[in-house]
Structure formats: structure tokens, C-alpha cells
Amino acid sequence: NAGVTQTPKFRVLKTGQSMTLLCAQDMNHEYMYWYRQDPGMGLRLIHYSVGEGTTAKGEVPDGYNVSRLKKQNFLLGLESAAPSQTSVYFCASSGPATYEQYFGPGTRLTVT
Amino acid sequence: GEDVEQSLFLSVREGDSSVINCTYTDSSSTYLYWYKQEPGAGLQLLTYIFSNMDMKQDQRLTVLLNKKDKHLSLRIADTQTGDSAIYFCAEKVGTGRRALTFGSGTRLQVQP
């Protein structure tokens, strides 16, 4: 039981490049989330999903897109990376009957 | 609106008790959480408390909730060097999207 996993762990992009971050969970959770963590700002919600095939915007969705084609996977895409998207990205999931969220180890993204 | 605030830094000596404080503004908070983040790692759920409770104890951890003052605290008894980490307070509001609002984190430094 791996919990929540994220790939890649690190990535460096040039401005304008695109990439996809993958999150996978093996707990059969309905709900999945993408956060970004910046120094001194805690975690901010980018997008979330309440089930397979559904997605919704969080606090800071601009510049990101997401997809939830399979229940266990939640993808975060950056179509045209900007230096302001340099951050650590965390994926989380939670089940239908509980509210606590389980986090992946994070992806550290640098955009130059 | 939702806003969660924490002090940035706390330093204690090994063996002492640590008290990490958090204030929140939304009186409709239903659940409040404490997460721990060690360097380079994701967030680990430590404990949570329902809004209809005043206190919750779990081994060395004691959570106190003062709903009148919208104040949450985490007490760690017999603090160890392994407790050095960043501690995040988070709240869940209402029954909507199930996402959490996080504080900016308190860095706990335990000195031998």
C-alpha cells in the first residue's frame, strides 16, 4: 500500500515549456487535490476533483489544467510554464467518509 | 472568509513541552487539523478535532480548541529532536468542496 505517490520528484523547466505532474493513489479515494507550497504562504489549492471525470477550480487555478480520467490518477498540467510557477507541488487524496487528507511527497518544480 | 494564522517559529529544549498556536476566522469551521512536515517530505496528518470538542489527547499530543476565541493549539509533551519540523494548522469549513485551508506553518526547532 503505497498511499499517494507523485512523479517526478524534481523538474527544471524553461519559461514557455509544458509538463504534466502525475499523482496516483491506491486507497480508492474519491477526492483528490493539487496544492502548491510557497515559502511563508502555507498550501494553496490549485484544482481538485470529487470523482472520476470531474474537476473543479481552487484558489489559484490560473496557468494550470487538470484531468481525472481514472479514479486513482490526478494529473496537473502546465501548458506554458512561467517563473511564478516555481514551487513545490503536493497532491492529496481523501475518502468519502473522512475529511483528513493524505499527501504525496511533493514535486519540486523550478522554472527559469 | 477563511484565514488561518500561525506564528512562524518556536524553539524549545529537548524534554520541554511545546505549544504551537493557531487562530482562524471562520466560525463555521467543522474540523481542525494539525499536520507535520519534515524537511523534503510531504505533510503527515498528526491529529484532528471536531468543532464540537474542546480537547483531544493522543499520546504526547494534546489539542485544545477555544471556539469563542477561534483559537487552536497543539501541545507536544516531552519534545524530542525528532519533533523538529514545520507544523501546519488547517481548517475544513462547511460541507462543500472538502478542501482544507492551511496556515503558513510554524517551524519548531528542538535544541538538545
Q: What is the pLDDT of residues B48-62, one digit of tens each?
A: 998 888 999 999 999
CB contact under 8 A, B42 and A90: yes
Under 8 Å between Cβ of A42 and A51: no
How far apart are the CA of A105 and the nearest CA of chain B, in angstroms?
4
Classify burial at A71, counting beta carbons within 10 Å of its beta carbon; exposed 0-12, middle 13-18, buried 19 or more.
middle
Cα–Cα distance measured from residue A43 to residue A49, given in angstroms and rounded to the nearest whole number: 17
| Distance (Å) of CA B47 to CA A4, A71, B58, B95 | 19, 27, 8, 20
Among all residues of chain B, which has the CA nearest to that of A51? B97
Tell me, yes or no, if B32 comes closer than 8 A to chain A by beta carbon: no
Under 8 Å between Cβ of A44 and A60: yes
Considering only the beta carbons, identify the residue of A40, A41, A90 that sits closest to B43: A90
pLDDT digits (tens, 9 = 90+) for A38-65: 987 788 999 999 899 999 999 899 999 9
Under 8 Å between Cβ of A2 and A100: no
* pLDDT band at residue A27 using 50, 70 and 90 as cut-offs: very high
